[in-house]
């Protein structure tokens, strides 16, 4: 049974660093960036532009975080949002937690008046399961920027409309 928590706590710095590092998908620099977004949210709250949902499962009486997502409204757009990070503990993957996190984020974004959600990801082969995950969740590939991150590692942009066009 997964529960979602929106409030960011001091202990989330280490939770986010541990989860992102455990996947083996992110460099040290990227892990630092992920932790830095928690710091910003702790320091300035809503003004940071970073919102979080943490997926927690009870282990005994204590909730244990098994994944998280970080998202925010894209500045200077009317109703577009970015999902910046989504990570599930490798030991808890393929159990529907990632899809649950995206559903939770889509619900929150609709509540905030959002209409379109964008997700950037690397195109390199390591991320092929991630691409399948986004497609399974109803996201469409809308752009490809060749060699964006490095030679042979482009940027793919996925998008999903979560509210009807006005």
Ligand X SMILES: CC(C)(COP(=O)(O)OP(=O)(O)OC[C@H]1O[C@@H](n2cnc3c(N)ncnc32)[C@H](O)[C@@H]1OP(=O)(O)O)[C@@H](O)C(=O)NCCC(=O)NCCS
Binding site for ligand X (CB under 6 A): 23, 25, 85-88, 93-99, 121, 127, 129-130, 132-133, 136
Helices (H), the chain: 12-23, 28-44, 97-111, 128-136
Q: Which is nearer to ligand X, 113 or 143 (CB)?
A: 143
State in angstroms the smallest separation of the CB of 165 from ligand X: 27
User: CA 100 → CA 18, 47, 138, 149, distances in Å?
Assistant: 20, 26, 13, 28
Picking from 29, 17, 25, 20, the residue whose alpha carbon sits closest to that of residue 121 is 25
State in angstroms the smallest separation of the CB of 94 from ligand X: 5
| CB neighbours of residue 31 within 10 Å | 19
Extended beta strands in 21-95, E state: 51-59, 62-73, 80-88
State in angstroms the smallest separation of the CB of 161 from ligand X: 20
State in angstroms the smallest separation of the CB of 129 from ligand X: 3
Q: Which is nearer to ligand X, 13 or 131 (CB)?
A: 131
Q: Which is nearer to ligand X, 4 or 133 (CB)?
A: 133
Q: Which is nearer to ligand X, 63 or 100 (CB)?
A: 100
């Amino acid at each position: 049974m997964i529960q979602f928590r929106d409030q960011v706590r001091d202990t989330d710095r280490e939770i986010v660093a541990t989860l992102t590092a455990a996947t083996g998908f992110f460099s040290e620099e990227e892990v630092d960036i992920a932790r830095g977004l928690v710091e910003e949210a702790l320091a300035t709250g809503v003004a940071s532009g970073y919102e979080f949902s943490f997926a927690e499962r009870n282990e005994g009486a204590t909730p244990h975080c098994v994944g998280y997502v970080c998202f925010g409204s894209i500045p200077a757009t009317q109703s577009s949002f970015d999902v910046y990070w989504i990570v599930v503990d490798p030991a808890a993957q393929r159990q529907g937690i990632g899809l649950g996190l995206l559903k939770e984020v889509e619900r929150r974004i609709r509540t905030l008046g959002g209409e379109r959600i964008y997700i950037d990801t690397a195109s390199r082969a390591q991320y092929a399961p991630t691409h399948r995950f986004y497609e399974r969740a109803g996201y469409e590939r809308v752009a490809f920027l060749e060699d964006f991150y490095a030679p042979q590692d482009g940027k793919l942009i996925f998008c999903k409309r979560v509210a009807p066009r006005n």
